[in-house]
Amino acid sequence: MQDLQSAEGMRERTDIKSMTKAELAEDFKRLGFPKYRADQVYGWLHAKGVESFDEMTNISKDMRSVLLQNYYIFNVTIEKKFVSAYDDTVKYLFKLDDGEYIESVLMHYHHGWTICISTQAGCRMGCTFCATGMGGFARNLRPSEMLSQITTAQRDNDIRISNVVLMGMGEPLDNFDNVMRFLELVSDLDGVGIGMRHISLSTCGVVDRIYELIDLKPQFTLSVSLHAPNDRLRSEMMPINKKWNVDRLLEACRKYAEATHRRISFEYSLIKDKNDTDECARELAGKLRGMLCHVNLIPVNTVKGNSYERSSPHQIQRFIRILENSGITATVRRTLGADINASCGQLRRRKKEESDGNIQQD
Ligand code: SAH
Ligand code: SF4
């Protein structure tokens, strides 16, 4: 767990939005405030999503000044925002207190608003098809920095978000403790109140953490970025496969599905002539046979820095048919925000290049 004490420039104040209700009550006791005050402040921070202590209108001025001396409320700042002309998708580039950038994507489905949030500034996993991986790793996000992506998008659009996917920048299971705390906070009914069944967490396959999750029996949906049916291909695309290969990953997934009775969603980005062949589809079907799972096919997003191309619609249909003929359900993910290039990592990378002086500002 990263230290909740503030970053540079914030004095030694505590990141209050990363604290659980119990921690807040304990801290307030130390400061001499009654317990109901902790509940009130927690409600302002999480249910109402206020951005300053001054917005807490039922808290006296004196108490607000004590709060300000001891805590700070973290908020992301909207650096850039792109709204799709095709659908209601909004892509945000958010700035953090230390000048780092992260991305989130807000999407509108028939069942409501979903936000895809980042869990790290960058990522250290280095997948060859991914813009985030190419942009390098800066640091883990704190729970407040994950929460603030949601509350800021809600405020900015005057909406309630009903679903959260941890599929933005970063590998959630590489920031395990902060992500678990974020999940506890976001799903609290006295807070943001987004139930675990409305949350998906996507991992590139950090197997030891998947086993830890099994013990926790989480109610969220686990998505596993598989992208290849064998070690030759997967190790080429995803360095983590050299640590935990396809068989070890799938063994953990099988145990997870058996223990939680929850269907795993396998993400598979289709890359032309690389992992989209009939042979790959048959191999994948063989590996997943009998598992409680679903395959989510994603036509790969082209990214500067590699030569990967999207599969043809014809080959995508063939791939699906082969999986379905083996009894494995598969769907192609709907592309939202096609005009604003909604996959994560590209805006941050561009911003970094700008500040390194490699390209001209817009
Ligand atoms: N680190 C986690 C979650 C963030 S990435 C993970 O890897 O699962 C979210 C999803 O986007 C993953 O399934 C990832 O493989 C996929 N992805 C990354 N770059 C992509 C690209 N260029 N085209 C299509 N999918 C991509
Ligand atoms: Fe990291 Fe996921 Fe991108 Fe791989 S696909 S580099 S794990 S964000």
Tell whether 153 and 257 lie within a shared domain. Answer: yes
Q: How far apart are CA 286 and CA 281, in angstroms?
A: 9
Both 177 and 55 in a single domain? Answer: no
pLDDT at residue 34 is higher than 60: yes
| Residue 66 sits in the same domain as residue 112 | no
56 lies in the same domain as 94: no
Distance 289 CA to ligand 1 centre (A): 23
Same domain, 57 and 200: no
For atom 5 of ligand 1, the residue with the nearest CA is 167
Residue 1, in any domain of the structure: no
Task: Say yes or no: 97 and 63 in one domain.
Answer: no
In terms of average pLDDT, the best of 30-39, 334-343, 352-361 is: 30-39
In total, how many domains does the chain have? 2
Which position has the higher pLDDT, 358 or 30?
30
User: 46 with 195, same domain?
Assistant: no
Tell me if residue 79 is catalytic. Answer: no
User: Is residue 204 annotated as part of the catalytic site, yes or no?
Assistant: no
Instruction: Average the pLDDT over 154-180 and give the result.
Output: 96
| Residue 42 reports pLDDT greater than 50 | yes
User: What b-and-e string marks burial along 157-186, b requiring 16 or more CB atoms within 10 Å of the CB?
Assistant: eeeebebbbbbbbbbbbbbbebbbbbbebb
- The domain in which residue 328 lies consists of 76-355
Arithmetic mean of pLDDT over the chain: 91
319 has pLDDT over 50: yes
> Which ligand minimizes its atom distance to the CA of 302?
1
How far apart, in whole angstroms, are the C-alpha atoms of residue 204 and residue 125? 8
Question: In terms of domains, do 80 and 33 share one?
Answer: no
Phi, then psi, of 131 in degrees rounded to 5: -65, -35
**Residue ending a domain, choose from 48, 72, 96:** 72
Last residue of a domain, one of 72, 88, 122: 72
- 362 lies in a domain? no
Statement: residue 309 has pLDDT above 90: yes
How many angstroms does the Cα of residue 124 sit away from the middle of ligand 2? Answer: 8
Among the listed residues 103, 145, 171, 267, the single catalytic one is 103
Rounded to an integer, the average pLDDT of 84-101 is 92
pLDDT of 303 = 86
Least confident of 7-21, 22-36, 210-224: 7-21
- Do 92 and 236 lie in one domain? The reply is yes
**159 and 63 in a common domain:** no
Residue 129 shares a structural domain with residue 277: yes
Ligand number, closest to the Cα atom of 298: 1
Residue 156 pLDDT > 50: yes
For position 50, which CATH number holds? 1.10.150.530
Question: What pLDDT shows up at residue 284?
Answer: 98
| CATH number of the structural domain spanning residue 246 | 3.20.20.70
pLDDT over 70 (residue 8): no
Per-residue pLDDT, averaged over 147-172, amounts to 96
Domain's final residue, options 33, 57, 72: 72
* Residue in the structure block whose two tokens are 């974020």: 182
Q: SS3 sequence, 108-175?
A: EECCEEEEECCCEEECCCCCCCCHHHHCCEEEECCHHHHHHHHHHHHHHHCCCEEEEEECCCCCHHHH
Q: Assess whether the C-beta atom of 137 lies below 6 angstroms from ligand 1.
A: no
Domain contains 2: no
360 occurs within a structural domain: no
pLDDT of 360 reads: 36
Kindly state if the Cβ of 301 falls inside 6 Å of ligand 1: yes
